[in-house]
Amino acid sequence: MTRTPPDWFIRSRLKLRQLRLIVVLDEARNLRRSAELLGTSQPAASKLLREIEAMLGVALFERRPRGMVPTAYGEIMVRYAHVVLDGLGRAHEELDAVRAGATGKVVVGSIPSVVADVMAQALAALHLGRSGLLVSVRVETSDVVLALLRNREVDVAVALRAALRVLGRT
C-alpha cells in the first residue's frame, strides 16, 4: 500500500463539497438522500465520492442493500470533515464578530462543576472593558474538554487536575 503524501489535500484540490458530502452521507447513510440534502443529483454525488476515494486510494463507505456505512477510513474522514467544516463555521462567526465591532471570540471548554460559580465570575471580569468580546462555553467532562483543546476546538480548557496528570501535565 502506498503512503498518502502529507499535502494530498492541496495536490488533489480537495473540495469543500466533497467534505460536505462525507458528513451528510454519514448522517443520511443513503447516497440519493445525501444528494437531495446537498441540492445535487445522485450521479454528481456519486462522482464526488468516487473522486475523493480515488484521491485517497481507499473506500470511505461500504455500500450495503440498506444504505451506506463508513469504513474505518471513512470514519476518519468523517471526523476530520466535521473539524474542517466546523472550523470554517467558527472562522465565519469570528469574522462577523470583528465586522460588527467586536474584538474577537474565545471558546472555553469547562467541566460542569465550575461553570455556575467560577466561570460566571471569570467571564464577568473578562467582559469588563471588553464588551465586544464574544465568549462561548462548551460544558463537557475533563477528558472531552482536553480532547477539544488538543483538536483546537476550544481556546481555553478548565479541567480537573487529575485529568491533566494523565496527559503528563500539571
**What's the CATH code of the domain at 130?**
3.40.190.10
Same domain membership, residue 16 and residue 69? yes
Distance of CA 92 to CAs 68, 84, 151, 155, Å? 31, 12, 18, 16
CA pair distance 37, 103, nearest whole angstrom: 36
Expressed as residue numbers, the domain containing 74 is 8-80
Q: Give the whole-angstrom CA distance, residue 51 versus residue 163.
A: 41
Q: Does the residue 92 lie in any domain?
A: no
Q: What is the pLDDT of residue 115?
A: 73
Q: Are residues 75 and 12 in the same domain?
A: yes
> How many structural domains is the chain composed of?
2
Helix, strand, or coil here: 21?
A: helix
Q: Is the pTM of this model over 0.85?
A: no
Same domain, 75 and 14: yes
Last-in-domain residue among 46, 80, 114: 80
| Residue among 33, 71, 28 nearest 52 (CA) | 71
Q: Residue 165: its pLDDT value, please?
A: 47
- What is the per-residue pLDDT for 127? 66
Query: Is residue 111 a contact partner of residue 141, using CB atoms and an 8 Å limit?
Result: yes
pLDDT of residue 30: 95
The CATH number of whichever domain residue 65 belongs to comes to 1.10.10.10
- Helical ranges in 7-119 per DSSP H: 8-11, 16-28, 31-38, 42-56, 72-99, 112-114
How much is the pLDDT for 170?
Answer: 43
Q: Give the mean pLDDT per block of 10 residues along the chain (170 residues).
A: 65 84 96 95 95 92 93 95 90 78 76 77 70 79 87 85 50
